[in-house]
Amino acid sequence: MRSTRIAVTFLGIVLMSCSQSQHSESDGILEPYRLTDGPGGAVMVLRHDSVLYGKAFGRADVEAGTAVTFATNFRLASVTKQFTAMAAMILVDRGKVSLEQQLTDFFPDFAPVGRKITLKHLLTHTSGIVAYEDVMPESTTVPLLDKDVLQLLKNIDSTHSLPGSEFRYSNSGYALLALVVEKASGVSFARFLKENIFLPLGMSNTVAYERGVSEVPHRAYVYSVDTGKAGRCERTDQSLTSSVLGDGGIYSSISDLQKWDAALTAGSLVREKTLQEMLSRSAVIDTGKTWYGYGWYTGSMDGVPLYYHGGSTVGFRTCIVRIPDRSLTVIALFNRSDVESEKICLKLARLYF
């Protein structure tokens, strides 16, 4: 009995030592961005429901002196795409839409090329569709909405490549998916997200922000950091594409994204088969290394499947990495432009792997 106690005590000491070492290394990874009076971020490492590491630092609003917390809402940028994909797949699960349906099924006046582009092509970035950012008129002064993206694209009867033939990252495709969700559900995209994802999961402060319609509680403002001038920063909060919802318009916090992660683990929004299809290696990006599913990049760490997505817009930098076979998730949200959020998440995932 005494030897058992000694063994258990020794194991506890070893685990405590490992934890302290990991915390120290994690702090070191984040140290360059932990300014007391400048913009900052929030980072969390989860295993199952336990928080292995969590830090919130810097200012959500530098001018007002508001500190970042785990409840601070950041614009997710392209991390939004996993929610857009989930919205579409909820409708697939309910038999409201099919992945093989074409753009012209939803937008009859779309150019003839729309008869060759399916919802699956949009989800996997294999539609070849033109980037709406490249065809925005130079005279544009009012931020675009998803419906404006449709107007810009519907008369362009060509694609970069044959639909379904190759991966080409496309914000256009996800803006169109948001409109498909609206058409198929009969409610706005923002409302569909709220009623079918955010509220059921208890993500009460998460919102697909629409100016004049909704508000973002506890929000972070974003700053461009001039690394050549001792960390000087300038607020650069919005751009002409900031109001497009489907590709990047959701605001959320670390606290709410914990609930999103738990829902993905529990499979509480769609059938397990549907969720696995979302995480499948549908489009090849880097042969044998990286693929794209529906709203998620897929790869591996030491042969163990890994799923992730980053986001970048104006100055927000975001990322989520999930390694289900290790019950490990890393979430990072920043409101400063000088951060490589994906690299930080992958470093932390490696540390706790």
Nearest by Cα to 208 from 239, 251, 240: 251
> Per the residue annotation, which of 21, 50, 78, 280 is the catalytic one?
78
What's the distance, CA 37 to chain centroid? 27
Within a 10 A sphere around the Cβ of 295, how many other Cβ atoms?
Answer: 26
Indicate if 78 belongs to the active site. yes
Six token digits for residue 286: 């880097």
Residues 44-69 as b or e (16 or more Cβ within 10 Å = b): bbbeeeeebbebbbbbbbbeeeeebe
Nearest by Cα to 196 from 261, 270, 266: 270
The number of CA neighbours under 13 Å toward the Cβ of 224 is 8
The number of CA neighbours under 13 Å toward the Cβ of 255 is 13
Six token digits for residue 14: 């070893």
Residue 12, class by beta-carbon neighbours within 10 Å (0-12 exposed, 13-18 middle, 19+ buried)?
A: exposed
Give the catalytic positions in this structure.
78
